[in-house]
A = this chain, B = another copy of it.
Amino acid sequence: MEPIERAATVRYAAAADLPDALRGADALFVYDFLSRALPSAWPAADTLGWVHIASAGVDPVMFPELRDSDVVLTNSRGVFDAAIAEYVLGLVIAFAKDFAGSLRLQQQRTWRHRETERVAGTSALVVGTGPIGRAVARLLRAVGMSVAGAGRRARRDDPDFGTVVSSAELTDHVADVDVVVAVAPLTEQTKGMFDARAFAAMKPGSRFVNVGRGELMVTDDLVSALRSGHLSAAALDVFEQEPLPPESPLWTMENVLISAHMSGDVVGWRDALVEVFADNFARWCEGRPLRNVVDKRLGYVPSMS
């Protein structure tokens, strides 16, 4: 933060201090991106022109007052792409090779040979065609999977996905897919899109990976689809409620892999997030166009295409 501290008065604020810190501020860097402190502090934002968030998803700050204001919103697009793609690929292989089963057998000192699955030749639908979804698609393709995307606009000949189907018609396009990966931004349109109807449309025995936002899925519906055996497994890095409450049935389901909202957080990620902000800060000071400007109507940074 040194370059920024040299050029501006920087106030560091926890949630309780946010209203005071916000008063008279020209720009806000939301570093704790899951903080819910901003809406209630918003009336103090008397001179604010720019909010930058240390995440790819901007849903935590899409409250009406900010959304409808003239305040520019930018995100940290790009920081997490490659790391999340590796994470998803690892999960897909972990399913195919039953790494979780091996670890449980190891804990019981039990030697049990099982047959595994190939990954190449299987198929994935990546729901979300932003930079993270694109990185996921490229990496899954690199190991021989056939990959399509699901986004706002159906199209062919996408450079990363080939075919992109319409997210709104998801249930028409999941019947033959081995792994469905949720990495869409959380908006009014995508909230709860993975519900009982969507899971029922998926291929029997298929798997679900959520590295986007917990609110993309209806957790109870997912639990039912897993318990019935219709879905064979799920890997969840995000949840409707985080931290995942101890009473959640997900914790003890053997066909569920849980991690703590960390798929993109590789060593050095905090520095990378500050660098993205610092770059935009320099642009802002010099009156140059900001990077990663969110279309607040859409709820994400539109891709250039």
Binding site for B on A (CB under 8 A): 82-83, 86-87, 89-91, 93-94, 96-97, 99-100, 102-106, 109, 111-120, 139, 142-143, 242-244, 246, 251-252, 256-263, 265-267, 269
Contact = CB atoms under 8 A, between A and B. Distances in A.
B106 A257 contact: yes
A140 to B, nearest CB: 11
Contact of A267 (B91, B93, B115): B115
A103 B244 contact: no
Contact of A99 (B90, B252, B261, B267): B90
A106 B142 contact: no
8 contacts: A82-B120, A90-B99, A106-B258, A112-B260, A113-B260, A113-B262, A118-B266, A143-B143
* Best-surrounded residue of A87, A102, A113, A116 (most CB of chain B within 10 A): A116
List the 3 shortest-distance A-B pairs measured between CB atoms, nearest first.
A90-B93, A111-B243, A142-B142
Contacts of A114: 260, 262, 265
* Best-surrounded residue of A97, A119, A266 (most CB of chain B within 10 A): A97
Nearest to A83: B118
